[in-house]
Each structure stands twice: as structure tokens, then as C-alpha cells.
Amino acid sequence: MPAPSTPNAGAPALLAFPDTPERRLRRALGALDQALAEQKTAIAHFRAQLGDLHGAVVQLDGSARALSGRLDTAAAGAARAEAAAREAVATAEKLEQVARA
């Protein structure tokens, strides 16, 4: 009985074609085009994020200004209350002096 033969037994080995400078250049240019496209997408995404950040900063600025206005109003109210309290204390001291006399 003969020995089983293996496929491609005795077939010549495949050799890769030599890589030419033109092929390397084409692959490099293709990779560069792909990298530029990815960079364009990344820059567009970055700009969109900058726009979102700008909107958030503008909103934060508005909120900070509104808070500052409310704090100014509260400070003015506190100053009026302090003045009224001092006046009330002064009046109470005068009434106490009158009551002792």
C-alpha cells in the first residue's frame, strides 16, 4: 500500500513579491490619509467639547453674577438690620436711664 501523499507535497514555496519604493510610498500615503481623517474627526470633537465648555463657563459666569448680586442685597440688608439693632439698643439704654431716674 502506498504512503498517503500530503497536499502540495513537492510544490514550490510561494515567494513574496519584492516591496518596491512605490508600494511603500502608496501604503505610507494611505496611512497618512487615514491618520489625517482621524485627526480631523478628533479636532471636530475637541472643538465641540470646547463649545460645550464655553457654554458651561458662560452659564457659570451668569450664576456667579446673580449670586454676587444676591449677596450684595443680603449684605445691605444685614447692614440695615445692624443699624436698626444698634438704634434699638441705644433706645433701650435711654429708656433704662429714664426708668432709673
Instruction: State the average pLDDT over residues 84-96.
Output: 96
Q: How many angstroms separate the CA atoms of 35 and 38, rounded?
A: 5
pTM equals: 0.56
Q: Is residue 97 part of a domain?
A: yes
Q: Is residue 53 part of a domain?
A: yes
Q: How many angstroms separate the CA atoms of 36 and 30, rounded?
A: 10
Question: What pLDDT is attached to residue 19?
Answer: 84
Range of the domain at 74: 36-101
Q: Is residue 28 part of a domain?
A: no
Q: How many angstroms separate the CA atoms of 101 and 99, rounded?
A: 6
Q: Is residue 14 part of a domain?
A: no
Residue environment code for 27-47, b if the CB has 16+ CB neighbours within 10 A, otherwise e:
eeeeeeeeeeeeeeeeeeeee
Higher-pLDDT residue of 5, 73: 73
- Whether the pLDDT of residue 63 is over 90: the answer is yes
- Whether the pLDDT of residue 86 is over 70: the answer is yes
Question: What pLDDT is attached to residue 11?
Answer: 74
Q: How many angstroms separate the CA atoms of 35 and 43, rounded?
A: 12
Q: Is residue 27 part of a domain?
A: no
Question: What pLDDT is attached to residue 26?
Answer: 95
Question: What pLDDT is attached to residue 6?
Answer: 56
**Domain tally for the chain?**
1
For residue 71, the one-letter residue type is: L
